[in-house]
Amino acid sequence: MFLEAFICFNCGKKYSLPIDKNLNSCLNCGGILLAAYNIEALQEKLNKEELSRRKLNVWKYRELLPPIKENNIVSLGEGGTFLHKCEKLSSKLGLKLLYVKNETTNPTGSFLDRGSTIEVSRAVELNVNSIYCATSSGNFAASIAAYAARGGLKCNIFIPSERIKELNLGKLYQIIAYGANLTVDEHYKNELSNLGYSISPLNPFFAEGEKTTGYELCEQLNWALPDKIVVPMGHGEHLSMIWKGINDFFALGLINSINVGMIGVQAAEFAPIVDEFQGRKIKLQPPKTIALDLAMEKPLYAKLALKSIKESKGTAVKVSDDEIFKAMEMLAKMEGIFAEPSAASTIAGVIKLLNEGQIDRSETVVCLITGAGLKDPASARKFVEKTKEINRIIAGVESKRFTKKLGETKFKLLKILSNESYGYEAWKTLKNMGVNLDISSIYQHLAELEAMGLIKRVKTEKVLGKPARIYYLLTNKGEELLRKINI
The answer to whether residue 299 is domain-embedded is yes
Cβ atoms of 382 and 361 within 8 Å: the answer is no
Cα 410 from Cα 72, distance rounded (Å): 44
Region 254-269: mean pLDDT is 95
Residues 298 and 350 in one domain: yes
- Read off the pLDDT band of 380 (50, 70, 90): low
Q: With 60 as the cut, is the pLDDT of residue 191 above it? A: no
Structural domain total, the chain: 2
Range of the domain at 256: 83-109+206-379
290-344 pLDDT, tens digit each? 887 888 878 989 999 999 999 999 999 999 999 999 999 999 999 999 999 999 9
Mean pLDDT over the full length of the chain:
88
Residues 245 and 354 in one domain: yes
Greater confidence, 164 or 152? 152
Greater confidence, 478 or 35? 35
Domain boundary among 333, 361, 379: 379
The pLDDT assigned to 402 comes to 47
In this structure, the number of other CB atoms found within 10 A of the CB of residue 349 comes to 31
The answer to whether residue 96 is domain-embedded is yes
For 228, what's the count of Cα atoms within 13 Å in the CB-facing half-sphere? 27
Greater confidence, 293 or 418? 418
Residues 442 and 395 in one domain: yes
The pLDDT assigned to 445 comes to 85
- CA–CA distance from 232 to each of 113, 236, 262, 347, 367 (Å)? 16, 8, 11, 10, 9
Q: With 50 as the cut, is the pLDDT of residue 223 above it? A: yes
Residues 244 and 277 in one domain: yes
Cα 58 from Cα 117, distance rounded (Å): 9
Region 8-24: mean pLDDT is 92
In whole angstroms, what separates CA 434 from the centre of its chain? 38
Residues 444 and 366 in one domain: no
- Where does residue 419 rank: exposed (0-12), middle (13-18), buried (19+ CB within 10 A)? exposed
The pLDDT assigned to 193 comes to 56
The answer to whether residue 27 is domain-embedded is no
Greater confidence, 285 or 313? 313
Residues 215 and 319 in one domain: yes
- Residue 270 is given by DSSP the state B
Three-class SS of residue 229? strand
Residues 270 and 416 in one domain: no
- CA–CA distance from 425 to each of 45, 461, 472, 474, 475 (Å)? 64, 13, 11, 16, 19
72-119 pLDDT, tens digit each? 999 999 999 999 999 999 999 999 999 999 999 999 999 999 999 999
Residues 431 and 328 in one domain: no
Residues 315 and 229 in one domain: yes
Range from 10-19, 393-402, 470-479 carrying the lowest mean pLDDT: 393-402
The pLDDT assigned to 397 comes to 53
Contacts of 71 (CB under 8 A, 6+ apart): none
The answer to whether residue 313 is domain-embedded is yes
Residues 423 and 274 in one domain: no
Range from 67-71, 276-280, 285-289, 413-417 carrying the lowest mean pLDDT: 285-289
The pLDDT assigned to 405 comes to 45
Domain boundary among 346, 379, 412: 379
- What does 65-120 look like in DSSP terms, one character per residue? S----GGG---SS-----EEE-HHHHHHHT-SEEEEEEGGGSTTSBTTHHHHHHHH
In this structure, the number of other CB atoms found within 10 A of the CB of residue 409 comes to 15
Domain boundary among 379, 408, 425: 379
The pLDDT assigned to 386 comes to 58
The pLDDT assigned to 448 comes to 82
Three-class SS of residue 282? coil
Region 130-151: mean pLDDT is 89
The pLDDT assigned to 468 comes to 79
**Which CATH number fits the domain that encloses residue 317?**
3.40.50.1100
428-450 pLDDT, tens digit each? 998 888 888 877 778 888 888 88
Report pTM: 0.80
Residues 221 and 265 in one domain: yes
Residues 360 and 400 in one domain: no
Cβ atoms of 227 and 365 within 8 Å: the answer is yes
- Read off the pLDDT band of 403 (50, 70, 90): very low
The answer to whether residue 263 is domain-embedded is yes
Cβ atoms of 261 and 227 within 8 Å: the answer is yes
Cα 170 from Cα 147, distance rounded (Å): 17
The answer to whether residue 364 is domain-embedded is yes
The answer to whether residue 332 is domain-embedded is yes
The answer to whether residue 155 is domain-embedded is no
- What does 32-45 look like in DSSP terms, one character per residue? BEEEEE-HHHHHHH
Nearest-5° angle of CA 49, CA 51, CA 54?
115
**Which CATH number fits the domain that encloses residue 420?**
1.10.10.10
